[in-house]
Amino acid sequence: MDRVYNFAAGPSTMPEEALATAAREMLNYNGTGMSVMEMSHRSKVYQEIFDHTAALVRELMAVPEDYEILLLQGGATGQFAAIPLNLLGAGRSADYIDSGNFAHGALTEAKKYGDIRCVASSREENYRRIPVWNEADFNPDAAYFYITTNNTIFGTRYATLPETGKVPLVADMSSNILSEVYDVRRFGVIYAGAQKNIGPAGLTLVIVRKDLLGHAQPICPKVFDWTIMAEKGSMLNTPPTYAIYMAGLCLEWLKKQGGVAAIEKVNVEKAKLLYDLLDESSFYRPTADPASRSRMNVTFTTPDPDTDAAFVKAAAAHGLANLKGHRLVGGIRASIYNAMPIEGVRALVRFMKDFETEHR
């Protein structure tokens, strides 16, 4: 069977070129006579693979030297706990914006470890927009301020970032990291699970400003302690070796596309193809507020749930896979991360027009 256009939210489509290289190198990496999966993480050859991936992250995101790049395990969900455990010293408090289900999960988890305040929420509107915030509500003495830059389930994105002054901004970028240019200096911590826009699942990227290290709570598990992990080059224990190698191949591909600024232009164009169609149609209805629209996850419905289901099924038969929306929103979700080619989005647009003609 041919490859399909895979619109899954995560794990998600990866650059074909990266997969082909991995296939070629599967049994014998670079004359070592073994697969990357079979190598000691303490070997020289593996250290080079690790350093290459970390260096590509630094280069592509222009990460300044006073930030550590950590390649960890435990997923974004692990970091929901690691963030307060690393940043929330005794007697301190942190501010959160509740913009989606993952933001809510982060907030709930953090409450186990300290004093957490929710300063804005769109939960009552089923997260159809990024909540409106009022800077007067921010705690100027907070240990950190937490946001989720792209809300994967609801298809929303911060068009502007909150101004938090001296309070470090901590961002879950799991579903839009490397898809648009961010100035890393605006953040104290950026983190992401890899399985949407970096590479395969199993790897968690944490970028942390060095002055924020050294404040972990005594109960912080060692594997989640950024300070210890930074000292150990992310190898306190065995890192997710193969996922790090695969991420390196995906980042090489991204570099070849011209890097983040170049892919951002393509991403804007891809999203526009879909939103233009949704705005012109009286059959499809976009579910996210226009001012909060994501470029990575486009959410919409047809006139009724039965037609949504028929849409997902017919699309799959046309080689357009995994378009079913998340159960919290229903309808349809097209995840169009970096590795989704614009041809895939064009094919989806053509299918949507034909489907509308047949079902109107």
Ligand X SMILES: *Cc1c(COP(=O)(O)O)cnc(C)c1O
Which residue ranges make up the site for ligand X (CB under 6 A)? 10, 75-77, 102, 148, 152, 172, 174-175, 193, 196
CB of 108 to ligand X, least distance (A): 13
SS3 174: coil
State the virtual CA torsion across 35, 38, 39, 40 in degrees, nearest 10.
170
Nearer to ligand X, 77 or 307 (CB): 77
Nearer to ligand X, 10 or 114 (CB): 10
Q: Which residue has the tokens 């990291």?
A: 177
CB of 82 to ligand X, least distance (A): 11
Nearer to ligand X, 61 or 82 (CB): 82
Nearer to ligand X, 56 or 147 (CB): 147
CB of 44 to ligand X, least distance (A): 30
CB of 355 to ligand X, least distance (A): 27
CB of 132 to ligand X, least distance (A): 20
SS3 193: strand
Nearer to ligand X, 8 or 345 (CB): 8
Q: Smallest Cα–Cα separation from 336: which of 91, 71, 8, 117?
A: 8
Q: Residue 34 — φ and ψ, nearest 5°?
A: -150, 160
Residues 6+ apart with CB under 8 A from 45: 29, 30, 32, 39
CB of 113 to ligand X, least distance (A): 17
Q: Do 121 and 127 form a contact (C-beta atoms < 8 A)?
A: no
Tokens representing 134? 């009022």
Nearer to ligand X, 148 or 287 (CB): 148
Q: Do 39 and 45 form a contact (C-beta atoms < 8 A)?
A: yes
205 exposure class (CB count in 10 Å sphere: 0-12, 13-18, 19+): buried
C-alpha span between 80 and 76 (Å, rounded): 7
